[in-house]
Amino acid sequence: METTLLSSVQMARFASHGFLRLDSVVPDDINTAAMAAMRDGVPDVPYGIPLGKAFPDDSFAHRLVNLPAVAGALRSLVGPDPTVDHIAVHVREPNEGQAQPLHGDAIIDTRRDAFDVQLMYYPHEVTADMGGTLLVPGSHLRLTNESDTGRYQNLRGQIRLTCPAGTILLLHHGIWHGGRRNDSARRRYMFKIRFNPTTPQVRLWDTTDLDDPEVRAELSTYFPWYEHATWRLEVYNRIALWRTLTDDNTFDVDYWATRVSNRPGRTA
Ligand SMILES: O=C(O)CCC(=O)C(=O)O
């Protein structure tokens, strides 16, 4: 299968932002098939089914996950043989009058050396009034439980997604998100697949640019909803994730991890 792997800079962006955005990567014929399937009902899949067995060859979902850009991004993030945790069709009804509370999916997830990826696919254009997904960049490494964050109405730097048809988001499982209120007269559709890795998530991408200074720059990104002290903690969390992803326990940014792991005389 042809795939376009992510670069180290893109992976570092995922580690700092908690998501990657691929605009208009899905061609119109798949978007049209997806819309029809979502209206008619997409057959469910059992928890934990291998991705290769999850979707019939002629389905929009099979074609979607085998697009070179999508397959390459998935391979870079969750490896060659992920399993499908679950799928869901998310609909925001026309003029529905309410938004979803801000939340993380599932329950509190304390894993620091593995992560799931959620693919969100928008088969039609999402305009500002259509209830696109709300995302809080850099929230994915905060350990919260489901809608603990639901009372937060707006955070500086949040993203209220608008996008062209055929756009895909790839999210770290921990990111705070929610479906916004749809004030338009059109139903808004989104198809979600959650992937579980089955292999260690170590150097699965195209690592030729691993030493690019942009990697450190991405890992140092500041988001406006952090206070200064919290930003330090988030950079530390990203360093820990990057150490896992690269299997390099010496990696650091501005000495944040080296300082707090210095325990002379101890071996573990
Ligand atoms: O509809 C959306 O934009 C987000 C829905 C979602 O991700 C959820 O219900 O967990």
Q: What is the pTM assigned to this prediction?
A: 0.96
Domain final residue pick, 151, 171, 196: 196
Please tell me whether residues 220 and 150 are part of one structural domain: no
In the structure, what pLDDT confidence band is assigned to residue 267 with cuts at 50, 70 and 90?
confident
Domain final residue pick, 196, 228, 248: 196
The tally of domains found in the chain comes to 2
Q: How far is the CA of 90 from the centre of ligand 1 (A)?
A: 6
Mean pLDDT confidence for 17-38: 98
Q: How far is the CA of 133 from the centre of ligand 1 (A)?
A: 7
Residues having CB within 6 Å of any atom of ligand 1: 90, 92, 100, 105, 133, 177, 179, 190, 192
> Distance between CA atoms of 224 and 144, rounded to whole angstroms?
19
* Widest Cα–Cα separation across the chain: 66
pLDDT per position as a tens digit, 128-153: 999 999 999 999 999 999 999 999 99
Could you list the residue range(s) of the whole structural domain that residue 250 is in? 209-261
pLDDT per position as a tens digit, 191-212: 999 999 999 999 999 999 999 9
CATH number where 98 lies: 2.60.120.620
**φ and ψ at residue 220, rounded to 5 degrees:** -95, 5
Please tell me whether residues 144 and 178 are part of one structural domain: yes
Residue 83, in any domain of the structure: yes
For residue 103, the ligand 1 atom closest to its alpha carbon is: 10
> Which residue's CA is the nearest one to ligand 1's atom 8?
178
Show the DSSP H helices in the chain as ranges. Answer: 8-17, 28-40, 51-54, 60-65, 68-78, 213-219, 228-246, 256-261
For residue 134, the ligand 1 atom closest to its alpha carbon is: 3
Torsional sign, CA 91, 104, 80, 86: negative
> Distance between CA atoms of 37 and 89, rounded to whole angstroms?
10
